[in-house]
Amino acid sequence: MTNLLADPLCDPDDIAALLRSGDVAVLDRLTRCYGRQLLAAGRRYCSSEEDARDAVQDAALGAWTYGEGFRGEGRVDRWLVRLVATACSRMRRGRKNDPALHVRDEEIVAGDDSPEELAARAELAETLAEALQSLAPEDRAILILADARGWKGPEIAEALGLSHDVVRARISRAHKKLRGRLER
């Protein structure tokens, strides 16, 4: 916690102001300042590592989307942890009605992936994460909204206060930069 207080980038008052302003830069600040804490909360409240990571992303996007409602009466990190816990709870509720979870007669078979394929996939995921971090925060946010969340250009443009042409150009430029990094 002392590291956060020493880093001016992680000043809770500044982050709260960014949340209330709707500035997309808050996504980067939340990830850098509270990412580990939120992932730890996700691991505590969710049933799997994948769900924990999804819950952290949902919480960050939710904080950005609904940040103007943050009144500042409590600590930002505690509010974010509550958002992660809520996301995990939503995931559990959504799955309880999944018929595939209640099939008992089927044998669960391990995947056909070899250890080499799994290692290659993990290496690719790490390289992709590093490539995403190399993007400017707003470009990274646009790309995540488009590719990971499935938002369309006009939705992103409206949410970020940009023109559709600017969003389209930034997505194209970010894809090109990622391809270049991944080809190396």
Angle, helices 76-96 vs 49-66, to 10°: value is 120
89 & 163 share domain: no
**Overall number of domains in the chain:** 2
10 & 92 share domain: yes
How sure is the predictor about 111, in pLDDT bands with cuts at 50, 70 and 90?
Answer: low
The DSSP H or E segment spanning 106 is none
Concatenated DSSP letters of 22-45? T-THHHHHHHHHHHHHHHHHHHHH
Question: Helix (H, G, I), strand (E, B), or coil: what is residue 132?
Answer: helix
pLDDT in tens, 3-20: 454 577 888 888 888 888
12 & 77 share domain: yes
**pLDDT score of 38:** 92
Are 30 and 60 in contact by the 8 Å Cβ rule? The answer is yes
Range of the domain at 22: 2-96
Contacts 24+ apart (CB under 8 A), 130-133: 130/181, 131/177, 131/178, 131/181, 131/182, 132/178
Query: What pTM did the predictor assign?
Result: 0.52
Domain's final residue, options 78, 96, 114: 96
